[in-house]
Amino acid sequence: MRITGYRSLWTVHQWGRPVGDANGVVTGGVTEVPVLLVETDGGLTGVGLGAHTDVARIFPAVEGQDPRAVTALYDRMLAHTFKSGHSGSVFGTIGAFDMALWDLKAKMAGEPLWRTLGAADRFVPGYASGLDIALGDEELVALYSGWAGRGFTGAKIKGGLDTDRDIGRLEAVADVLRGNTRSPALMLDVNETWGRHQAVRLLARIENRVELAWIEEPVRRWDVRGNRAVARTGRTPVATGENLTGLEQFRPLLAADALQVVQTAGVWGITHFLRVATLAHGHDLPVSPVGYHANPLAHAAAAVPNHLATEVQDTGMPVGITVDQVLADGGIVLGDTPGLGISVDEPAFAGLDADAGWTRPDGPHVRPRRAGLRLTPETGATDRPSPIGSTERESTP
């Protein structure tokens, strides 16, 4: 069987509520989901999810190849971009292809990907996470009450703009989860919005009130000294890595013992996750995939020995996407459908709004000008952060 072509599609995820983080909020609650379909001469189609803007550039590296050689093809795609580098959108495109190739490999074997990768158990432990910074207190409690009803015992909230607000929200979510456990696992994700000078001070305030399982992206992703300072002065583990691309970006952090929970993003592909997990395992560190639509990394997480927990962001799926998995008992129960278990209903994509929100120039992916430079809590953050398109305020934490 050989790779013959690809199709680039997109759909949307309808959250039914505002979603975002300290960097911005999509008030309409609709985000884009790029879909890459890789075609073969044997009639099978592989599904990859994630932005793939460099698809025309990367495809020649895999065209005509046998998709079963997926790890070799991953390196072939990296080699294809050797001179110009493979970070950013290039790495995302490689990840989308890689996901589709693993999907094909398992489909050719007639088994779910978790079986192909050597996992023995279809259950993947998870924690709840809702991109929830714009929710009011009652909305926050209602959201995590739903997760508690599915057996979840851990949760991550978005914060970083107002420490007192973050503490109150963490305590509220803890109260919800205590119906399942006497000691919930609580995480706070500030999405690189603190400077090194703030991170140590603000984390200490939080630790006086709340025990955290980890603090996520307290400073810039590449700041080895900053992440190490946070890890050394506090008692809370540092988690980061979702925005790092390639093992070479993890090495300095691991060599300096600057992080304690190693993360990867779902949009970087299966092979990247497996390699990062092995690198982390060599340092006796746990690995935790960051959530993405359809939870594709759950199959790989089931197969690595140092998986801690997978982030699960929503109970619904994008329009036209169905997945053979169930969210129950505090995690993901993977099914038996061959491959990733993802089915695509292309007619359902017709007529969708192409400007869903997340990737607009004022979306949450754009770092605010005052991030890392704030001295006081952001004005108004006790209720909710500024929506997309509003004028940024100058004062903050």
Give yes or no for residue 94 having a pLDDT over 80.
yes
What letter would DSSP give residue 183?
S
Identify the DSSP state of 91: H
pLDDT at 393: 33
| φ, ψ for residue 13, nearest 5 deg | -110, 125
Architecture of domain 3-112: 2-Layer Sandwich (3.30)
- Where in the chain is CATH 3.20.20.120? 115-338
* CA distances to 24, 93, 162, 198 from 380, in Å: 14, 38, 9, 19
Burial class (CB in 10 A: 0-12, 13-18, 19+), 360: middle
Mean pLDDT of 385-394: 38
Please give the distance of CA 261 from its chain centroid, rounded to a whole number.
14
Whether 48 shows a pLDDT value over 50: the answer reads: yes
Q: Tens of pLDDT along 10-41? A: 999 999 999 999 999 999 999 999 999 999 99
Rounded to an integer, the average pLDDT of 164-181 is 98
Q: What is the mean pLDDT of the chain?
A: 93
Residue 134 DSSP code = T
All CATH 3.30.390.10 domain ranges of the chain, comma separated, are 3-112
Residue 386: band (very low, low, confident or very high) from pLDDT cuts 50, 70, 90: very low
Tokens of 220: 């810039």
42: which residues sit within 8 A by CB, 6+ positions away? 1, 2, 108
b or e along 192-217 (b: 16 or more beta carbons within 10 Å of the residue's beta carbon)? bbbbbebbbebbeebeeebebbbbbb
**For the chain, how far is it from start to end, CA to CA, in angstroms?**
56
| 250, 277 contact by CB (below 8 A) | no
Looking at residue 374, its pLDDT comes to 87
pLDDT tier at 355 (50, 70, 90 boundaries)? low
Q: Which CATH architecture is the domain 115-338 placed in?
A: Alpha-Beta Barrel (3.20)
